[in-house]
Amino acid sequence: MATNRHATPFINHNMFICIFVSLLLPMANEGASNVYGDSRSFPNDDGGKRLTREYHLRQGALRGLIVRPSRQYDFQYVEMFLGIPYAAPPTGNLRFMPPVNAPPWPGVKMATRFAPVCPQALPPIKKGNPPSSGRQHYMNQLKGFLRNESEDCLYLNIYVPYR
């Protein structure tokens, strides 16, 4: 298989911002497993989960959740789509190769859970030099996100203003 050495970068500026925000948002709420914590609220206020309308992509149909990130800061409702594959898993003969399109999925994909993160290690702590309280707090927040690791980790989390 021939490769093009002068291909455009896989991740452009807009995609980088989307990925950066999707990685940063879960860490924005101290002590919670994600930014929505236990205080999720929905437009119908019945405590049930409210699903988005169905969206159709090349890979198949998709539905997410309608959530309000925080009442404390008067955030508006958003449509939240978690764990959307943007490429085939980089395993087997695809390991260390450029990404290929994600395969289609049957039926409607319920994009309501975070996908695994890529394998990674926590930053090292030098012996005899304890971390600052801020760094320790940050590392404790990271631990929760690093529990579900897999080489099959090419997924996006997308947050869209709800109308």
Q: Which helix (H) or strand (E) holds 60?
A: none
Paired residues of 72 in beta bridges = none
Kindly state whether residue 71 falls inside one of the protein's structural domains.
yes
Q: What percent of the chain is modeled with pLDDT above 70?
A: 65
Q: What is the dihedral of CA 11, 79, 65, 139, to 10 degrees?
A: 50
Average confidence (pLDDT) over 50-71: 90
Determine, yes or no, domain membership for 4.
no
Three-state SS string over 80-148 comes to EEEEEECCCCCCHHHCCCCCCCCCCCCCEEECECCCCECCCCCCCCCCCCCCCHHHHHHHHHHHHHCCC
pLDDT in tens, 118-136: 888 776 666 666 777 787 7
Amino acid symbol at 119: P
Whether residue 83 is contained in a domain is answered as yes
pLDDT tens for each residue of 11-30: 555 555 555 445 444 444 33
Quick check: 105 pLDDT over 90?
Answer: yes
Count the domains in the chain. 1
Place of tokens 């203003």: 161
| 133 assigned to some structural domain | no
**Does pTM surpass 0.75?**
no
The strand pair at 108-110 and 55-56 is best described as unpaired
115 with 83: CB under 8 angstroms?
A: yes
Predicted pLDDT of residue 45: 41
68-100, pLDDT tens digit by residue?
Answer: 877 777 788 999 999 999 999 998 999 999 999
Domain residue limits at 89: 15-22+35-119+151-161
